[in-house]
Amino acid sequence: MNATISASELARALTTGNPPVLLDVRWQLSMAKAAGEPPFDGWAAYAAGHLPGAVFVDLDRELASAPGAHGRHPLPDLAEFGAAMRRAGVSSRTPVVVYDGGLGWGAARAWWLLRWTGHPDVRVLDGGLPAWEGPLETSEPAPAEGDFTPVPSATGLLDADGAAALARSGVLLDARAGERYRGEVEPIDRVGGHIPGAVSAPTTENVGPDGRFLPAGELRARFEDLGASGDAPVGVYCGSGVSGAHEVLALAVAGIPAALYVGSWSEWSSDPERPVAVGPDPQ
């Protein structure tokens, strides 16, 4: 099953007898609060125009629990997540396509959660809303209740200890910007740097200028150069498990399975007892 879908493929899929459920997950990490500006409003963006029939999903409230000891975007309560997905019309036998404003991070978080909890057919609109050339609508749909019940997989998820172990025994990729990995700046979390043994792999380098993923062969070559060929277990973390999901998605496009450390740096760095590495080298 492909992890992404092009806008033209989606347009055709919407005309079939089993069209996908569309989820709009527009979200972006914002530094606006520190600058005294209002934060990004995904709902307002959705209300101004969305794919016909798409249902808005709030990443902060429906794809994550409240910030706390396990990071800024810890796993959601699975019963509440399942209820949110059913309200959006998600059923186990119906394909799902998720999209966002083009960055891909919010959509990837929804993709990862649905896949990890057992949905068999979820894809991300490559390039997000900017790639869509069809009509938009502003009305809010009222989909029929879905039947999806999340059943988490025994694999694909890392905790802090698992991430630390994987950095030693496999390949742990850090999807944040290089300057945060090196510890030169840290605009959000307690301290800068990276998990010892992790390899810098900014997720922004997985896409082209239009926000669409690089071809699968190019992605695979990139990850192999970083040591992630799939021969050893691969894991990913970021700041709070959002852009890291986008890197897991890029790895899936490349044909390399990977687990996600959802707590990511926001959880790891909150504990002063955990080691922190700085500089360009993993150790």
Q: What is the pLDDT of residues 268-279, one digit of tens each?
A: 999 999 999 999
- Do the beta carbons of residue 174 and residue 237 sit within 8 Å? yes
Q: What is the pLDDT of residues 218-243, one digit of tens each?
A: 999 999 999 999 899 999 999 999 99
Q: Would you say the pTM of this structure is higher than 0.85?
A: yes
Vertex 246 angle, CA 105 and 260, to 5°: 120
Q: What is the pLDDT of residues 86-135, one digit of tens each?
A: 999 999 999 999 999 999 999 999 999 999 999 999 999 999 999 999 99
- Torsion from C-alpha of 37, 207, 163, 107, nearest 10 degrees: 60
Question: How far, rounded to the nearest angstrom, does the alpha carbon of residue 82 sit from its chain's CA centroid?
Answer: 18
Which spans in 215-262 are helix H? 216-225, 243-253
Cα torsion 191, 192, 196, 198: sign: positive
Residues 6 or more apart whose CB falls under 8 angstroms from that of 33 comprise: 39
Report the chain's terminal Cα–Cα distance, integer Å: 36
- What does DSSP assign to residue 147? -
What confidence tier does 36 reach under pLDDT thresholds 50, 70, 90? low
Q: Stretch 40-52: mean pLDDT, rounded? A: 95
Fold topology of 157-268: Oxidized Rhodanese; domain 1 (3.40.250)
For the beta carbon of residue 33, count every other beta carbon within 10 angstroms. Answer: 9
Residue 197 annotated to the active site:
no
Q: Tell me which residue of 94, 107, 115 sits closest to 207, measured CA to CA.
A: 107
Strand-pairing partners, residue 201, are none
Active site residue: 238, 245, 250, 251, which one? 238
For residue 35, the model assigns a pLDDT of 54
Fold topology of 4-131: Oxidized Rhodanese; domain 1 (3.40.250)
Question: How far, rounded to the nearest angstrom, does the alpha carbon of residue 134 sit from its chain's CA centroid?
Answer: 25
For the beta carbon of residue 118, count every other beta carbon within 10 angstroms. Answer: 13
CA 165 to CA 168: how far, in whole Å?
Answer: 5
- What does DSSP assign to residue 7? H
Cα atoms in the Cβ-side hemisphere of radius 13 Å centred on 209: 0
For residue 37, the model assigns a pLDDT of 65
In the chain, list all ranges with CATH 3.40.250.10.
4-131, 157-268
Vertex 72 angle, CA 68 and 77, to 5°: 70
Is 157 strand, coil or helix? strand
